[in-house]
Amino acid sequence: MKYNSTLLLPLVSGSDKMGIIILFSERDRHFGHQEIKYLSVSADWIAEKIKTARSARENVQSKKEIEKLKLKEVSFSDKITSLLNSDDPVSSSDKFCKSLIGTCLSESAFLIGTLNGALHFYGGSVKLSKLSENYKTALLEAIVEKNTPLIINQDATNEDGETITVQSSLIIPFSNSSTAKAILLRRDSQAFNVSTDDLKEIKLFTDIASLLIELESARKLSLSRKKGFDQIMELMSFKNLRLYDDEPSFVAKQIGSFLPDKSIIMAFSNFSGQLSELSYINQSSGGMNKDILINPTAAPLREMTVNRKPIFFGGKTSVKDAIESFDSDSRQKFQSLFGEQGIPAFMSVCPILRKEKIDGFLLIFIYDIVKSENSEWERLITLASGMYSLNITLFTLLEEKELAGKITDNPLVVNQINNYLSSVIGIAELKSNEEAIPVDYKDAFHKIIDEATLASDFVRDRLGSGVAKKEVTSKVLAEDLFDKIIARSLDGSHISENLYMINGKPREMQTQLNSKSVSFLPSDKIIGLFSKALSSFSELADEQDLISVSTYAEGGYIYLDISRHRKNFPPVEKVSGFGKYNDSDEILKMRPADDFLKIMDTGGLYSYDQYSQRPTYLSFKFPISKTNPEIADSVKKLKILAIDDQPVILDLLSAMCQSAGYEIDTAESGNEGIEKIALRPYDIVLTDLSMPGISGLDTARRIKEIMPDIPIILLTGWEATIEKFELNSAGISDVLYKPFRIEQLTEMIISSVKASKVS
């Protein structure tokens, strides 16, 4: 049909343009001023109607968003507290799922897993309607094949032709389960947007959920010998446990109450990684002294220390081999304990954890057991020890939270608190630097450090003397290992195993940090450059790509390569072998989008993949630090004397100094320190301020009489007013306030020694 006349009427309401009406007519010049006059009124009315409808729809959406934000306000600590105060905090999977509502703005929550290869629901906050086969397949793939956090969005097209999210699902697999299980969170109308902190928060809930599922499974078992199972679970519930029962011997007695006859359970306390003492045994020791010490170098104990979970041995041959790995003295004790019964048929080495620290461990031996029952007892023992460890961990966290309100305004109390915080920070920092520690535990240690630092800030701000504390730099030394700087940069974004949160998205990434060298670039510049480069590079990578970060040293240079490749393909080779490196300023002229190169203003070269539209690699090349070897050697060979009346601080200082390569002696009083100075020369002295008998200032004066040129650092946990002339008269080089970090201690030692050599 042919139209000879057309009229366009805009739909406008105020300053909002709502659309347009188009009228067609077969007649020539059909529309005149008269028609436009009357039709414009109708167009205005329609525009107002459209605006009202849109406003109503937006108002409904806003209300939904407000409700979701209210759910978000239910904090992690509130959820934990709610679980702790519940009459039966782990009574059912459904109750647990209801407690998760609001996490990451979720509207419903479920516990899912696999059963005989099919999707299985252990519980949920609501009943689910029939699920599509595609959705079930996606859930199975997320928890079985990918085993990483995943967001699944179900999209549709609205009346305006726009693509909208109808429903969004967040799947968080369990990391500590032998079978595929996960928490499933769902919400309507908007996609999930989770952060690294959100995923860390949910991680604790997956640990609790894992124990809950094990508990419900154990309740369904027909264990013929599970005496007192309900009683033990009642004794270990959150409300009935008391902090004065937080020794491994307590849980050993409870587990021992339902073990088969003739079984043996032993509790070892004071686990230090060196010696552990027997604190409980459930039968006559048969000549086995309860004061014996076990040297935990045996293979089962080392494995328990690394994995932080129970180790099991089924069958007499397996148990015999495990016992043979203990030292000869321990083996003789075990043989005496077993007596005529001989080698047990089942053995378990079970850690008791408080936060990330092993408080002690249990040795469990069972005789009256058949092979088919092994898995049932493994499940029960894992559940009992896990529930107990979770209890004392949560109660410890809550008690530490309440501690601040019970402190009196007393310098001695504050000094004790800062000594304790020094120990917490120092031990956590030393542990986090151990290569054998898994990355997720390193994250936990860094979190402990952060919490302890906040606690020290509270003590200073609320209980301090009002004297401004001397700022002690916490920056990493410029001459720090390049690999450690890169590792620290990655720690904050690590989720679990090879999964990292980059630009708000979980990405799979592998690292090979092998430069073992020192870069002349300051650590803050290295971290800034690497973080920005990794962020920019990940934006170019496909979701299926595996990102690799590697460092290595060749020909007097450190190389940092960031590359990507498909999982089934080999990674990019070392770029040093084929890459063309140029000055960063020159590259910036050609690639202004690589603005992270602006950080390289103090040197370094850059190479990138010039043949792909989206580069498959970036590579940085830095000169290895030209540190004066004489200074470096003199620092490494330092002989240090540490003086403090608190053994925990002396142990901490010893560990820190030894980790830095120093030689250190300790003294528990000023007089003992003065005696040691008179017998042996030292390069530097660390002395506490407040000590019984002779103070740190007087100790320093006496030491200066013997060795006038020796630098002395004063340690204090209480911000007392110390005038500068007092420090000078005592010969104090500098003051280090507790709690302190390894970097702060080593930096002050180095600067004090260098200053003394210059003078």
Same domain, 149 and 164: yes
Of the residues 351, 368, 398, the one at which a domain ends: 398
The sheet with strand 557-566 has its strands ordered as 494-496, 499-502, 505-513, 545-554, 557-566, 617-623, 605-608, 582-583
Query: 253 lies in which domain range?
Result: 225-398
CA distances from 650 to 645, 663, 664 (A): 8, 13, 10
* Helices 196-220, 374-403: crossing angle, 10 deg rounding: 140
* Per-residue pLDDT, 49: 85
Task: Spell out a b/e string for 473-506, using b for 16 or more CB atoms within 10 Å of the CB, else e.
Answer: eeebbbbbbbbebbbbbbeebbbbeebbbbeeeb
* Per-residue pLDDT, 55: 81
Residue with token string 């300051």: 522
3-state DSSP assignment of residue 713: strand
Q: Does residue 474 lie in a domain region?
A: no
* Per-residue pLDDT, 110: 93
Same domain, 366 and 434: no
pLDDT tens for 387-432 read 777 677 666 765 665 554 444 444 555 566 666 667 677 777 777 6
Same domain, 90 and 34: no
Stretches where the chain sits below pLDDT 50 are: 73, 87-90, 221-233, 235-236, 238-244, 284-287, 404-410, 462-479, 626-634
CA distances from 351 to 164, 388, 559, 653, 675 (A): 49, 11, 41, 28, 43
Q: Does residue 468 lie in a domain region?
A: no
Q: Does residue 469 lie in a domain region?
A: no
Same domain, 570 and 614: yes
Q: Which two tokens stand for residue 585?
A: 């300023």
Same domain, 132 and 181: yes
Question: What is the rounded CA–CA span in Å between residue 131 and residue 553?
Answer: 54
Q: Which two tokens stand for residue 47?
A: 């525009």
Question: What is the rounded CA–CA span in Å between residue 315 and residue 346?
Answer: 6
Report the length, in residues, of the chain: 759
CATH of the domain at 586: 3.30.565.10
Q: Does residue 692 lie in a domain region?
A: yes
* Per-residue pLDDT, 319: 92
Same domain, 236 and 357: yes
Q: Does residue 689 lie in a domain region?
A: yes
CATH of the domain at 213: 3.30.450.40
* Per-residue pLDDT, 700: 93
Q: Does residue 475 lie in a domain region?
A: no
pLDDT tens for 328-370 read 888 888 888 888 788 999 999 988 887 667 888 899 999 877 7
* Per-residue pLDDT, 712: 94
- Report which of 459, 15, 391, 418 is spatially closest to residue 207, judged by C-alpha positions: 391
- Report which of 391, 387, 338, 347 is spatially closest to residue 365, judged by C-alpha positions: 347
Contact 542, 610 (CB under 8 A): no
Same domain, 514 and 596: yes
State the pTM of this model: 0.34
Contact 184, 110 (CB under 8 A): yes
Task: Spell out a b/e string for 435-446, using b for 16 or more CB atoms within 10 Å of the CB, else e.
Answer: eeeebbbbbbbb
Question: What is the rounded CA–CA span in Å between residue 725 and residue 509?
Answer: 55
Of the residues 16, 43, 69, the one at which a domain ends: 69
* Per-residue pLDDT, 501: 84
* Per-residue pLDDT, 198: 81
Q: Which residues pair with 309 in a beta bridge?
A: none
**Domains in the chain: how many in total?**
6
Contact 361, 347 (CB under 8 A): no
Of the residues 194, 219, 244, the one at which a domain ends: 219
* Per-residue pLDDT, 626: 45
Per DSSP, the residues of 331-353 read HHHHHHHHGGG-S-SEEEEEEEE
Give the rounded percent of residues in the chain with a pLDDT score beyond 70.
Answer: 73
Q: Does residue 470 lie in a domain region?
A: no
